[in-house]
Amino acid sequence: MKQKDKVLYLFLFVIIAAASLASGLLGNGGGSTLEISSDGHVIKSLALSEMPSGTVIVLREGGGMNELLVSGGSVRMISADCPGGDCLKMQPLSSGRGVIVCLPHKLVIKLKGDQAQKPDGVDAVTY
Amino acid sequence: MRSRTEKTAILALFSALALATGAIESLFPIPFPGVRLGLTNVFHFLALLIYGSAEAVMVASVRLFLAFLLTGNPFAFACSAGGLLCSLPLSIFLYKKYGDDLSVPAISVASAAAFNAGQVSVVVILTSEPSILAYLPVIMAIGSVTGYLVGYIAGNLRCRIESCRLRRSP
Amino acid sequence: MIDKKRTRMTFCVFFFSALIITGLAMLYKDAKGASMNTRSRESLAMDTIMRISIHSAKAPEELDMILDGAFGIIADLDGHLSMHMTSSDISLVNANAGQSPVLVSKETASAVRTSLAIAQRTGGAFDPTIGPVSDIWKTRSVENPRGEVPDDAEIREALSLVGASMAHVSADNRIYLEKQGMKLDLGGIAKGYASGAVRDFLISAGVESALIDLGGNVVVIGTAPGRAKGDPWRIGIQHPYRPRGEIICSIAANGTSVITAGVYERYVEIGGKKYTHIFDPRTGHPVDGDLISVTIVAEDPAAGDALSTAFMAIGVEKSKKLLDSFPGVEAIFITKGQGAEPDVTATEGIKGLIKNEAKG
């Protein structure tokens, strides 16, 4: 039965392909800068290389507390006082990819390749 | 021909099984908030196949609310609700309208994609972080596999349940 | 049964193609910089802050080693070109002025050759033998607690020892200054030369993207991290009246060097008048005019550094004419304006690349 299966699969395939191309173009790639945003605003931008293994980052955002552990170039959530604690179950950020989201505290933690840019948008100043 | 009692019992069983599967699934690590294997969806999908849209909605919402009551996690609830809001109408529509042209796993794959889309939308809205959308394709690709699995299991279960029922009531 | 099989087949085909596409998208991201590493380091050398930031797909450890190499090059060049270190090539050449040629490293020879060539091409507006003039100003005004301006006789005497034609670099890297008391001062080219050497080293080490900022001498390689391939870097030009780091405009730079000479950078105040550290080798006096700074955009940072200094002495109009003999070199002149803000003039070739600050 079901000759229209192919149509549906093809349709979905096109959607996923288009979406992945679009997201590839967005260039939301990872990297070595840990970017923490709360409610859509970047609150911290830290160079992973400057944090020794074992660094714990304590975040008090969105009325709660989260603790991130940096170890061997990867980052994971080690404690959170939210119901459910979904973020604790999320895969650690490493090799510059992935995202940790703590919905209750509106936290999004990801790795960005971009180093923190100067506020005026230039890479360097000649004088 | 089918007794109301039997239907009530089976739907209650489905909801309970969905809850249990959800509890087991929550033990596994997740790549993304609310993203799970999706095996809980087998049961409301099964309700759709055996009974109909109303029963599917019923099983889904009972599971949704009971899970919320049990875990007390409004965010997981919001994610699931957002996903269901997209996937349920789609699976009902596809099953009713194109049920003859589409196989059960295909319908399930489509609803899984819709579920993921709804879920990620909720996360984006809650965190005000549109860049999360970039993860949607990956999640959808994974969702297609689990969606197929769900559809396959649900289809098989339907055959078993119905043949068993036929044998019992001559 | 057959149908079921076909359904499964279709699904498999669909799924694997989706997987491949997603994988390709991931690879595409990688190629664009998803797995790129960035390493930055700052260090003090040549009396200024040296900052190098490299961005590459290489492992962080390897990038650290590349940075070690880059800063090693700077330290070596500092050791060769410094006027202050008594053991440097330049100090040895100066000590033997009027006596004998001195065998120097090939880097020193090359830096001096470049300087002498530019001295010749700018009619002496840049001169590496400016040493005696900068010395007299230094001892009389900067180091003298009373802060005086040297008198004309002193300046004339110093000027008699300045002249690129009296300095010689042989093919076997021996430098000879004709007159005793002559003094090479590569302050106007050392940082530019060093940034060029660092750039060549980074490129040969396979670094795809880098920002080299040696005390305001900025050289870029490749594309800025986080930007689409081929997008230029943006380099700000210091606002002459505002604190360090505040810019008057910015310029898009792609694989070039952006180097500025400005009167505000170092100066001494005597009797209410500001005397800058940039001297006109033709008059023996600090440059003094409407020109506040010159930014040179050029392929070769050593030439850019020397030209920016030369143009400060030459002035806007003559510099523009002189640029005709330097193809590919562009300049931005900042002059005292009518109002409170300075005027910015750029040569035709880069007008389109400049972005003025809205707040400016």
- Judged against a pLDDT cut of 90, whether residue B38 lies above it is answered with no
**pLDDT-based confidence at residue C65 (cuts at 50, 70, 90):** very high
Q: At what angle do helices A5-26 and B104-127 cross, to 10 degrees?
A: 30
Task: List the subunits that have 3+ CB pairs under 8 angstroms with A.
Answer: B, C
Beta-carbon count within 10 A of A50 CB:
12
Q: Rg (Cα) of chain C, in Å, rounded?
A: 25
Closest CA to C322 of C347, C302, C345, C299: C347
CB within 8 Å of B16: residues ≥ 6 apart: none
Do A31 and C33 make contact, defined as CB atoms within 8 angstroms? yes
Residue in chain B nearest C12 by alpha carbon: B145
Measure CB to CB from residue B106 to each of A9, A16, A83 and give the nearest one. A9
| Highest CATH level, class, for A31-112 | mainly beta
Segment A3-32 shows an average pLDDT of 74
Q: Cα–Cα distance between A103 and A99 in angstroms, integer? A: 12
β-pairing verdict for A124-126 and C233-238: parallel
Do B141 and C22 make contact, defined as CB atoms within 8 angstroms? yes
Q: Report in angstroms the alpha-carbon separations of C19 from B76, B87, B138, B139.
A: 27, 22, 9, 11
Q: Cα–Cα distance between C155 and C275 in angstroms, integer? A: 15
Q: Cα–Cα distance between A57 and C127 in angstroms, integer? A: 54
How confident is the prediction for chain B on average, in pLDDT? Answer: 85
Residue A116 DSSP class: P
**pLDDT-based confidence at residue B31 (cuts at 50, 70, 90):** low
CB C205 within 8 A of CB C69: yes
**pLDDT-based confidence at residue A115 (cuts at 50, 70, 90):** very low
Q: Report in angstroms the alpha-carbon separations of A71 from A33, A53, C40.
A: 14, 4, 21
Segment B56-64 shows an average pLDDT of 91
| Token digits of residue A91 | 């895969």
Do C29 and A96 make contact, defined as CB atoms within 8 angstroms? no
Residue in chain A nearest B70 by alpha carbon: A84
Q: Cα–Cα distance between A79 and A82 in angstroms, integer? A: 9
For the segment C315-326, what is each residue's pLDDT rounded down to a tens digit?
999 999 999 999
Q: What is the pLDDT of residue A114?
A: 47
Do B105 and C11 make contact, defined as CB atoms within 8 angstroms? yes
The C-alpha of A76 sits at a distance from chain B's nearest C-alpha, in angstroms, of 12
Q: What is the pLDDT of residue C57?
A: 83
Residue in chain A nearest C234 by alpha carbon: A122
Measure CB to CB from residue C15 to each of B137, B138, B144 and give the nearest one. B144
A4 touches B at CB < 8 Å = yes
Q: What is the pLDDT of residue B35?
A: 65
**Structure-token match 């391939």, residue found:** C229
Q: What is the pTM of this model?
A: 0.57
For the segment C237-264, what is each residue's pLDDT rounded down to a tens digit?
999 988 887 889 989 888 899 999 998 8
**pLDDT-based confidence at residue C95 (cuts at 50, 70, 90):** very high
Query: B92 or C39: whose pLDDT is higher?
Result: B92
Segment B79-93 shows an average pLDDT of 91
Do A89 and B79 make contact, defined as CB atoms within 8 angstroms? no
Do A113 and C10 make contact, defined as CB atoms within 8 angstroms? no
Is the torsion defined by CA of B81, B85, B90, B91 positive or negative? positive
B35-44, B78-87, C140-149, C297-306: which has the highest mean pLDDT? Answer: C297-306
Q: What is the pLDDT of residue A118?
A: 45
- CATH: 3.10.520.10, 1.20.200.10, 3.30.9.10, 3.10.50.40. Which one for C4-78+199-356? 3.10.520.10
Domain extents for chain A? 1-29, 31-112
Q: What is the pLDDT of residue C268?
A: 81
How confident is the prediction for chain C on average, in pLDDT? Answer: 87
- Judged against a pLDDT cut of 90, whether residue C231 lies above it is answered with no
- Judged against a pLDDT cut of 90, whether residue C113 lies above it is answered with yes
**How many Cα atoms are found within 13 Å in the side-chain-facing hemisphere of C174?**
10
SS3 C57: coil
pLDDT exceeding 90 applies to what percent of chain B? 30
**pLDDT-based confidence at residue C48 (cuts at 50, 70, 90):** confident
β-pairing verdict for C247-253 and C354-356: antiparallel
pLDDT exceeding 70 applies to what percent of chain B? 93
Inter-chain CB pairs, A–C, below 8 Å: 142
The C-alpha of C167 sits at a distance from chain A's nearest C-alpha, in angstroms, of 30
A26 touches B at CB < 8 Å = yes
Do B34 and A9 make contact, defined as CB atoms within 8 angstroms? no
Residue C233 β-bridge partners? C253
Residue C270 β-bridge partners? C273
Segment C335-353 shows an average pLDDT of 88
Beta-carbon count within 10 A of A55 CB:
14
| Token digits of residue C12 | 């498999």
Phi/psi at C188 (5° precision): -85, 0
DSSP chain B: ---HHHHHHHHHHHHHHHHHHHHHHTTS-BSSTT----TTHHHHHHHHHHT-HHHHHHHHHHHHHHHHHHH--HHHHHHHHHHHHHHHHHHHHHHHHHTTTS-HHHHHHHHHHHHHHHHHHHHHHHHT-GGGGGGHHHHHHHHHHHHHHHHHHHHHHHHHHHHHHHHH--
Measure CB to CB from residue B137 to each of C8, C15, C22 and give the nearest one. C22
Q: Is C347 exposed, middle or buried (0-12, 13-18, 19+ CB in 10 A)?
A: middle
CB within 8 Å of C113: residues ≥ 6 apart: C169
Residue in chain A nearest B111 by alpha carbon: A12
Alpha-helical segments (H) within chain C: 2-32, 60-81, 89-95, 106-121, 131-137, 152-159, 190-204, 301-314, 316-322
Closest CA to A22 of C225, C25, C359, C188: C25
Burial letters C147-159, b for 16+ CB under 10 A, else e = eebbeeebbeebb
- Judged against a pLDDT cut of 50, whether residue C219 lies above it is answered with yes
Inter-chain CB pairs, B–C, below 8 Å: 22
Q: Report in angstroms the alpha-carbon separations of C317 from A24, B84, C229, C258.
A: 49, 72, 37, 20
- Judged against a pLDDT cut of 50, whether residue C34 lies above it is answered with no
**pLDDT-based confidence at residue C4 (cuts at 50, 70, 90):** low
- Judged against a pLDDT cut of 70, whether residue C139 lies above it is answered with yes
Beta-carbon count within 10 A of A77 CB:
24
- Judged against a pLDDT cut of 90, whether residue C189 lies above it is answered with yes
Residue in chain A nearest B67 by alpha carbon: A84
The C-alpha of B106 sits at a distance from chain A's nearest C-alpha, in angstroms, of 6
For the segment A35-89, what is each residue's pLDDT rounded down to a tens digit?
888 877 777 777 776 677 777 888 887 777 888 888 877 888 888 887 667 777 7
SS3 C221: strand
Do B148 and C22 make contact, defined as CB atoms within 8 angstroms? no
Residue in chain B nearest C26 by alpha carbon: B138
**Structure-token match 């080693």, residue found:** C65
Segment B110-120 shows an average pLDDT of 91
pLDDT exceeding 90 applies to what percent of chain C? 56
Q: Cα–Cα distance between B102 and B97 in angstroms, integer? A: 9
**pLDDT-based confidence at residue C359 (cuts at 50, 70, 90):** very low
Helix (H) or strand (E) holding A17: helix A5-26
Q: Which residues of chain B does C16 touch, with a Cβ-Cβ cutoff of 8 Å?
A: none
SS3 C334: strand
Measure CB to CB from residue B109 to each of A2, A12, A84 and give the nearest one. A12
Q: Which residues of chain A does C259 touch, with a Cβ-Cβ cutoff of 8 Å?
A: 126
- Judged against a pLDDT cut of 60, whether residue B169 lies above it is answered with no
CB A87 within 8 A of CB A100: yes
Do C28 and A24 make contact, defined as CB atoms within 8 angstroms? yes
**pLDDT-based confidence at residue C217 (cuts at 50, 70, 90):** very high
**Helix/strand/coil (H/E/C) assignment for every residue in A44-113:** EEEEHHHCCCCEEEEECCCCCCEEEEEECCEEEEEEECCCCCHHHHECCEECCECEEEECCCCEEEEEEC
CB within 8 Å of B123: residues ≥ 6 apart: A101, A103, B32, B33, B34, B79, B132
| Token digits of residue C4 | 């079921």
Q: What is the pLDDT of residue C125?
A: 94
Q: What is the pLDDT of residue C360?
A: 37
The CATH code that applies to domain C81-177 is 1.10.3980.10
Q: Cα–Cα distance between B49 and B52 in angstroms, integer? A: 6
Query: C266 or B34: whose pLDDT is higher?
Result: C266
Q: What is the pLDDT of residue A8?
A: 85
Do A30 and C35 make contact, defined as CB atoms within 8 angstroms? yes
Q: Cα–Cα distance between C18 and A11 in angstroms, integer? A: 11
Q: In chain C, which residues fall in CATH 1.10.3980.10?
A: 81-177
A21 touches C at CB < 8 Å = yes
Q: Cα–Cα distance between C216 and C196 in angstroms, integer? A: 13
Residue C99 DSSP class: T
- Judged against a pLDDT cut of 90, whether residue A29 lies above it is answered with no
Residue in chain B nearest C24 by alpha carbon: B138
Do B141 and C7 make contact, defined as CB atoms within 8 angstroms? no
Measure CB to CB from residue A115 to each of C14, C38, C260 and give the nearest one. C38
How confident is the prediction for chain A on average, in pLDDT? Answer: 74
**pLDDT-based confidence at residue A117 (cuts at 50, 70, 90):** very low
Do C235 and A29 make contact, defined as CB atoms within 8 angstroms? no
Q: In chain C, which residues fall in CATH 3.10.520.10?
A: 4-78+199-356
